[in-house]
Amino acid sequence: MTSSKRAPRVVLPRRGTKLAKTLKKPDKELVIVTGISGAGKASAIKSFEDLGFHAVDNLPLELLPDFARLVRKSAEIERAAIVVDIREGATLDRLPEILKKVKKLLPTRVVFLDAQDAVLVQRYSETRRPHPLGRSDTVSRSIVEERQLLDPIRNVADTLIDTSNFNVHELRAHIQARFGQQDETRQLLVSCLSFGFKNGVPLDADMVFDVRFLPNPHFVPEFRRKTGQDPKVAAYIRGFPQTVEFLDRVTDLMLYLLPHYVEEGKSYLTVAFGCTGGQHRSVMMAEEIGKRLKKAGYQVKTLHRDMPR
Query: For residue 301, which of 195, 220, 206, 190 has the smallest C-alpha distance?
Result: 190
Q: Look at residue 3 in the predicted model and tell me its pLDDT.
A: 43
pLDDT at 153: 87
Radius of gyration of the chain from its Cα atoms, rounded to whole angstroms? 21
Structure confidence at residue 185 (pLDDT): 37
Greatest mean pLDDT range, 67-76, 144-153, 236-245, 295-304: 236-245
Percentage of the chain with pLDDT > 70? 88
| The Cα angle at residue 182 between residues 178 and 186, in degrees rounded to 5 | 90
Sign of CA dihedral 113, 55, 108, 179: negative
Provide the percentage of residues in the chain whose pLDDT is more than 90: 45
Instruction: Indicate if the pLDDT at residue 202 is higher than 80.
Output: yes
Higher pLDDT, 3 or 269: 269
Give the residue-averaged pLDDT of 249-271: 88
Of residues 102 and 174, more confidence is placed in 102
The ranges assigned to domains in the chain are 9-179, 189-304
Q: Inform me whether the pLDDT recorded for 57 exceeds 70.
A: yes
Where are the strands (E) in the chain, listed by range? 9-11, 29-35, 54-57, 79-83, 108-114, 159-162, 189-196, 207-210, 268-275, 299-304
What average pLDDT score do residues 144-148 get?
A: 89
- pLDDT of res. 19: 35
Q: Phi and psi (nearest 5°) for 270? A: -110, 120
- ∠ CA 304-308-309, nearest 5°, is 90
Q: Which amino acid, 108?
A: T
Three-class HEC string of 108-136: EEEEEEECCHHHHHHHHHHHCCCCCCCCC
pLDDT at position 135 is 65
pTM (two decimals): 0.60
- Do 260 and 206 contact (CB within 8 A), yes or no? no
The larger pLDDT score, comparing residue 202 to residue 176, is at 202
CATH code of the domain made up of 9-179: 3.40.50.300
Averaged pLDDT for residues 225-232: 96
Q: Are 283 and 255 in contact (CB under 8 A)?
A: no
Binning the chain into helix, strand and coil, the percentages to the nearest 5 are: 45, 20, 40
- pLDDT, one tens digit per residue, over 274-302 is 999 999 999 999 999 999 999 998 889 99
Which is more confidently placed, 273 or 177? 273
Q: What is the mean pLDDT of residues 246-258?
A: 95
Q: Within 10 A of 152 (CB to CB), how many other CB atoms are there?
A: 14
